[in-house]
Structure 1
């Protein structure tokens, strides 16, 4: 299959492919998504095939606005309306009860809930509006690999497996959206993102919990990113919680280091492969997946050490992705 790269003025060509039941990757402010008409069960099942994604991992439904969402949500409670008014379009996904028989089981995983998102991206809004249907929007990468933040990342993973990619340039945020479960008595953040639990709590005027439990092998997760391994390059990843510990690690030409510029500056060994995460946490959020992909394309790299951040809600999204990439492995000083 030929995978076409569409420029910003070729949206109509991408719409045509989606309408035919084909798969097209699209940009958002977080990461690139892999689109198929959400009501087309065959097309949705092909998303799982293209990504190599487990079939019990439900998909996010991407809409152009709240009105489109209301066609598929059983109800849009007051809580959801408050968050929509404050954060949509934007990097926030709402888990709501789904209207019976409105979406195929391939989207919901057989659950009575489904996640909805309205991205802050003009190209994607135009795409969905012209199509007239919501589209599923999991990250447009091979399952378990770091999420794509450029069209080139998508092409690297899915060339020949999907019909097209809309090139909207590098994404702005770099980490997937915050997912909040509004189907329970007390709202729960199922996946942290750019919008923090504190911001959500302030908007709702009530306490918001943070999910810390694991999904068992026999259970279907409520939302993406809760059950299976994610974001991992081929080489094992180790989290370095204290930047000073980089001085204690035996670094060689076979190791990669991802850290802020101020930390990398102190590593004088010229043979060490370095990736600059930027000047601050916001930069690190934006560059994390790009760095993991950078080293994934270097077969000589046998281990990757990545700077961790701790101490505030702002670090939750970064550390959630990094801990998954590292399978929980942290550097322990001897």
Structure 2
């Protein structure tokens, strides 16, 4: 065994974003290389540098950074011969190695699905908060935030589709999520889940629920059924429930589109007019406003390609308003330059 400090382990885990070829049995070259380096360091150090279990516990009690123990891969990958034990025991051991291999592969797949679902749920919550904090009279921060969340929803939904088997696999490969999830599972196995000690409880404390009830923005997806889906009951099965995750992502996109069109429309009647009046009075960043309106117009063109009749009608009306606003204020902008 060798000790791995949190800093080195974090560098190892952060390196998961680097394209890495993962072999069929889900071994991690990066993890094994890190283990080898750490073993070499331990062998080179004098015995006095090796910390006892009691000293490690004392460091934890004093609030010091935890020391993570990594177990060599050779103990569980079949590299060590079992010829010295009885044939019956050796067979049981080899069977256990196969079960471990299968279980780690399943864990990596489950982690991929959980990450895809978590990402969409995270963006759903961010969108809900954006609705609550948005101000038509000051639209620019909301536009920036919306664009960022919307792009993340598109990527997360595409990833979920790829996992469910209904999308483009290249989306999943390009995100490198498959190799990343495998690396996380390998790190968890090699450290007996001690890697979790790097995360403080503060990161995962559940915040108190808000008493204020927020009203949804005229969502077309009303569903009064609060019972959990039958898919939530029972054991995990590969890709079961991912279609529902994809549906959540697509419905979120639609509701975001409808809300944003309404928000920009109301902003043209409120916030953007304030900017226009400010410019006419000799101040205000009208160039920034026009730049954002161009960004919105480009987004509308992209969304309009979806051919949704109801949305198309709203988009065309909004684009006419944008054109009218630009024509009304572009002369003022030129004069102020």
- TM-score by structure 2 length? 0.20
Larger strand proportion of the pair: 1
Larger helix proportion of the pair: 2
- TM-score by structure 1 length? 0.20
